[in-house]
Structure 1
Amino acid sequence: MIRRKARDVERFVGMELFLREIHRRGVQVAENSGQIVIFCNRAPVRWLSGPVPLS
């Protein structure tokens, strides 16, 4: 896993080229609050959240 600021990715390589490379490598990437997280393998990502409130 690698984390980078989205503005740095845009400044150094450009978002279009970055996303093409992500696609070429077959890895996944997530963006949240200006941060890009690259998952450096092809395994599925499972999103977790806090406990579900009881009704």
Structure 2
Amino acid sequence: MMDLITPLPRTKRGHDAIVVFVDRFSKATHFALCSTSGTAKDLAEDDEEEVLVRKKHG
């Protein structure tokens, strides 16, 4: 499951939202900063990077 937390104050790096992922099997949650000014494709690419980094390092 994926959900967005918006609107939030914009950070210096341009993030103004948090995307939340919940693994339905393990109930694990992952949070990532994102921007509401991007497209759905941008969000998907950013989220893919975040999930891959967490799997590698976390």
Considering only CA atoms, is the larger Rg found in Structure 1 or Structure 2? 1
* Greater RCO (CA < 8 Å, at least 6 residues apart): 1
With normalisation by structure 2, the TM-score equals: 0.30
With normalisation by structure 1, the TM-score equals: 0.31
